[in-house]
A and B are shown apart, each in its own frame.
Chain A
Amino acid sequence: MDSFDFEAFFHAHYERIARVIARVVGDHGRAEDLAAEALWKLWRTPQVHGQSAGGWLYRTAVRMGLNELRSGRRRLRYEALWDAPPSGLTPEEAHAAAEERDQVRQTLAVLRERQAELLILRASGLSYEELATALGLNPASVGTLIGRAQQAFRKEYVKLYGTRRNGR
């Protein structure tokens, strides 16, 4: 048995992992379940306990989120459950915002997995170094890879939805 303190690790990372997954799946409840599942997978994988645990966890979490997004059981059903629109938005603006979230997720779903992972984790606040660790990349090439992922994202988005931004 290793000395990995699962409960402490769980408390330290759970909220951030849940937010990463929620960004992809769009449903808080489902994101919380998947975050717990990702942490449980970590606990059941002793070979990644230690220095590499954090990177492994973020990579697993974002992949679980993307799989959920692509699986068809996902989001639109829950989109209405997303938090009520900010009070400053009109109903039309709130609807446009929800539509844009859906379009962004659809675009992420059709990107190459590595590019989608890079964009999601970068948008979740991970540094270049953390990204390199989580995705097993050369830290020197992270910037280049992010640039390519952004280009690919824009290309796919425009292909799917054009350049007009909904309601804004």
Chain B
Amino acid sequence: MDVSRWVDDRLSSLDAPGNWRPDPATAFGKLCRRERVRRSRWFLWATLSATAVAACAVLLLLVSAPPACANPLGCSQPAPPARSASALPEPRPSPAVARAHRSVPAHKPNFKETGSPTAPVICELYSDYECPHCASFHLEIVPQLVARYIDTGKVRLIQRDFPLARHRYARMAARYANAAGEAGYYREAVDRLFRTQAVWTGDGNIDGQVAHAVPPAAMEKVRALVRNEPSADDSLAADEATARENHIDRTPTLVCNREVIAGSLSLGEIQARLDRLLAQ
């Protein structure tokens, strides 16, 4: 048997009919039209993608620009990039101290600082009076840190005001607290403001709450400072400048010996960080 002929015979059955004539002009036109559509789709896709990317970038800027409160319920914000031990400048004395050194007698106590001046670890606590998580931190965590680290001379704590723009009364609350500090009742005013946060953030009556913590005579001084003293917000402005310099973007934030410790951490985690710093 001639295999070659046998195979050719069968393959010839696949020959296309002679009356079929593929038209190159039509096919070329069709191909060109398809490519035009493909290119226009690609252009549309690229334009939409670029627009979406730009919109996302703007959205991210808008969302991430304002500082955030760490409380996931009260002031939730997307988590910032992890920055555990960023290179921050050495903690500086409170602006209140600086101002005291400039304008008031040196023996006047610095109401924003607690603890031994020679403590090996200096912590700065950035808070917003209207931030619920700051209230929790102040009322639940700080007393335990005071007992374990501050009263024992291991840590010196500096309070920093960092009122968030979204909080209507936070700046005024900070002004009252600082004025109360000038009058010698900083801790009492701060405690009162954090404990009654839900009340005065509702009715706006900060004065009434601070008046419960400060004796009447001192309260008159506080009111005078709040209403008339041009320098009443100096401490606040200095704290905000320090926060910007240290890239603080949420509250509460604890910065200990240049290491940022998120205020949302548990007491145990904060203690572990402090113990590590003390061991260095």
Known: A83-B20, A157-B10. A150 touches B3 (CB 8 A): yes
Count class of interface residues, chain B: 20 to 34
A136 lies within 8 A of chain B by Cβ: no
Question: In the complex the two chains form, what is the Cα distance from A120 to B15 in whole Å?
Answer: 10
Which residues of chain B are near A153, meaning CB under 8 Å?
7, 10
Known: A10-B28, A14-B27, A105-B14. A119 touches B7 (CB 8 A): yes
- B8 partner, pick from A35, A97, A123, beta carbons under 8 A: A123
Which residues of chain A are near B10, meaning CB under 8 Å?
100, 104, 153, 157
**Interface contact B28-A7, CB-CB below 8 Å:** yes
* Chain B residue at smallest Cβ distance from A18: B22
Q: How far is the CB of A8 from chain B (nearest CB, A)?
A: 10
Question: In the complex the two chains form, what is the Cα distance from A150 to B4 in whole Å?
Answer: 6
* Chain B residue at smallest Cβ distance from A123: B11
**Interface contact B22-A119, CB-CB below 8 Å:** no
A113 lies within 8 A of chain B by Cβ: no
Question: In the complex the two chains form, what is the Cα distance from A24 to B11 in whole Å?
Answer: 10
Question: In the complex the two chains form, what is the Cα distance from A136 to B133 in whole Å?
Answer: 74
A62 lies within 8 A of chain B by Cβ: no
Known: A11-B28, A101-B14. A150 touches B22 (CB 8 A): no
**Interface contact B7-A23, CB-CB below 8 Å:** no
Most buried by A among B12, B14, B17, B20: B14
Question: In the complex the two chains form, what is the Cα distance from A22 to B20 in whole Å?
Answer: 10
- A15 partner, pick from B8, B17, B22, beta carbons under 8 A: B22
* Chain A residue at smallest Cβ distance from B10: A104
Q: How far is the CB of B75 from chain A (nearest CB, A)?
A: 54
Q: How far is the CB of A75 from chain B (nearest CB, A)?
A: 11
Q: Is the interface of A mostly helix, strand, loop or mixed?
A: helix
A154 lies within 8 A of chain B by Cβ: yes
A28 lies within 8 A of chain B by Cβ: yes
**Interface contact B31-A154, CB-CB below 8 Å:** no
Which residues of chain A are near B11, meaning CB under 8 Å?
104, 119-120, 123
Which residues of chain B are near A32, meaning CB under 8 Å?
22, 27
B217 lies within 8 A of chain A by Cβ: no
A40 lies within 8 A of chain B by Cβ: yes
Which residues of chain A are near B21, meaning CB under 8 Å?
15
* Chain B residue at smallest Cβ distance from A15: B22
CB-contacts of A15-45 with B (<8 A): 15, 18-19, 22-24, 26, 28, 31-32, 35-36, 39-40
Write the residues of chain A forming the contact surface with B, with a CB cutoff of 8 angstroms. Answer: 7, 10-11, 14-15, 18-19, 22-24, 26, 28, 31-32, 35-36, 39-40, 82-83, 97, 100-101, 104-105, 119-120, 123, 147, 150-151, 153-154, 157
User: Can you sample 19 A-B contacts with CB below 8 Å?
Assistant: A7-B28, A14-B28, A18-B22, A19-B16, A19-B22, A23-B15, A23-B16, A28-B16, A28-B22, A31-B22, A36-B30, A40-B35, A82-B17, A101-B13, A119-B7, A150-B3, A150-B7, A154-B7, A157-B10
Write the residues of chain B forming the contact surface with A, with a CB cutoff of 8 angstroms. Answer: 3-4, 6-8, 10-17, 19-22, 24-25, 27-28, 30-31, 35
5 closest A-B pairs by CB:
A14-B24, A18-B22, A83-B17, A123-B11, A150-B7
